[in-house]
Structure 1
Amino acid sequence: MTQDFHDLSLDTVIRQRIKGLRLAKGWSLDALAARCFLSPSTLSRIETGHRRIALDQLVPLAKALGTTLDQLVESSEDDDVVIRPEPEHQRGVTTWLLSREHNGTTVAKMRITPERSQDDAALSVHPGREWFTVLSGSVRLVLGERAILVHEGQAAEFSTMVPHHIGAHEGPVEILTIFDHGGEKAHLHSHERA
């Protein structure tokens, strides 16, 4: 019988994280035990729940597994995993934020119409990099003095220190994009400054 994740105690979740991280690295019990100065039998009993986990064991375990103590012991129920994006409308652009900011990046879906391409052709520059893939339609990507067509199923990645503009080519286009913090501020919040 499987147990629903919501019913798992934090202690059980921590044990699963330790074992999962160990297995993801391809390490045996002996390999992890040597890195965190525990015996393999102690580590085995910790993973299986036959031994209590002591704080002085968690710190070296987290370090050996390449994570932090906070990440190892964080509650599994602190955030809702389902994101319910609300569309934000600007002239010629509708944006749905599909992620919470994580490690300085945000994922968004954008629908761009030719209206934006004609009325908002100013090139922007900001620190960082941008990446997008075209879900439908074609993008006219302007990078400096070059204009590049990016079609459905293709992706583009570029330095945002190059003056750039993303517009629709011959009809609406939908893209999935990843912004770093600078890109999010420049592209998603630019209307707040106006």
Structure 2
Amino acid sequence: MTQEDGALDSLVRKRIRALRVAQGLSLEELAGRAHLSQSTLSRIESGHRRLALDQLVTLARALDTTLDQLVENAAEDVVITPMTHGPGTLTWPMKADPSFSIMRRRLTAARTEDPAKLRAHPGREWFVVLSGTAVLTLANRTYRIEKNHAAEFPTMLPHAITPERGPCDILFIFDRQARRGHRDTDDQVD
């Protein structure tokens, strides 16, 4: 066993124990769910028993996770470098779940709230205001979103987000469909 294999082995054992404890399960309860003896599970967690693929599969199911998540070794991918998309926009791609995108955007200029200029596209958006105050226009309703407050809405509603007075920093989370709706206009959020 290489040093890297040994580190992954240790990580998987720690992960099994951490998931068990986080779910409030005793050794006996998890062993019962995974169809293992309590002593076998104890030896797996402590490193005194070899990890077998069939046991990992049943443990993953018993812990309500996947085998991939149980054995993944993504320690090298902890830091995500942002990509720049136009002035004031940073995007962080989600490696663990590519169905979402995170974007930080600094809004500086209010645009007209002409209903004909509101955008609609498939998907959902969630955002939190980091500084300033944002004005969210959804169809014919307007909402003030202040610092540390958030909003979530289906993007099929015609919408626009503008700063109230002065600059406004916002952290957005888009699902895959909403991100596609913004791809053509990365120089403006909505």
TM-score bracket for the superposition, by shorter chain length: 0.7 to 0.9
Looking at structure 1, the residues matched to 74 and 43 of structure 2 have their Cα atoms a distance apart, in angstroms, of 22
Percent identical: 48
Match of 2:169 among 154, 163, 174: 174
Looking at structure 2, the residues matched to 172 and 111 of structure 1 have their Cα atoms a distance apart, in angstroms, of 7
Question: Please, which runs of 5 or more residues in structure 2 have no aligned partner?
Answer: none
Instruction: Note closer, same or farther for the CA distance 1:168–1:56 as it changes in structure 2 (3 Å cut).
Output: same
Match of 1:64 among 54, 58, 62: 62
How is 1:16-95 mapped onto 2 (pairs within 5 angstroms)? 16-77=14-75, 79-89=76-86, 94-95=88-89
Count matched residues: 181
Q: CA RMSD in A?
A: 2.3
- The superposition leaves residues 74-108 of structure 1 with CA deviations (integer Å, 9 ceiling, x where unpaired) of 2244x421122132215xxx221134252512222
1:7 is displaced (CA, Å) by 9.9
Query: 2:131, 2:168 within 8 Å by CA — same for their partners in 1?
Result: yes
What secondary structure sits across from 1:191 in the alignment? coil
Looking at structure 2, the residues matched to 7 and 38 of structure 1 have their Cα atoms a distance apart, in angstroms, of 24
> Which position in structure 1 is the counterpart of 2:178?
183
1:54 is displaced (CA, Å) by 1.0
What is the TM-score with the length of structure 2 in the denominator? 0.85
2:126 pairs with 1:131: yes
1:172 is displaced (CA, Å) by 1.5
1:133 is displaced (CA, Å) by 1.2
1:139 is displaced (CA, Å) by 1.1
The AA in structure 2 aligned to 1:52 is R
What secondary structure sits across from 2:78 in the alignment? coil
Structure 1's consecutive aligned runs of 4 or more residues displaced over 3 angstroms after TM superposition are 118-121
Query: 2:83, 2:92 within 8 Å by CA — same for their partners in 1?
Result: no
1:55 is displaced (CA, Å) by 1.2
Instruction: Note closer, same or farther for the CA distance 1:112–1:7 as it changes in structure 2 (3 Å cut).
Output: farther
The AA in structure 2 aligned to 1:178 is I
Match of 2:147 among 148, 152, 160: 152
Question: Please, which runs of 5 or more residues in structure 1 have no aligned partner?
Answer: 1-5
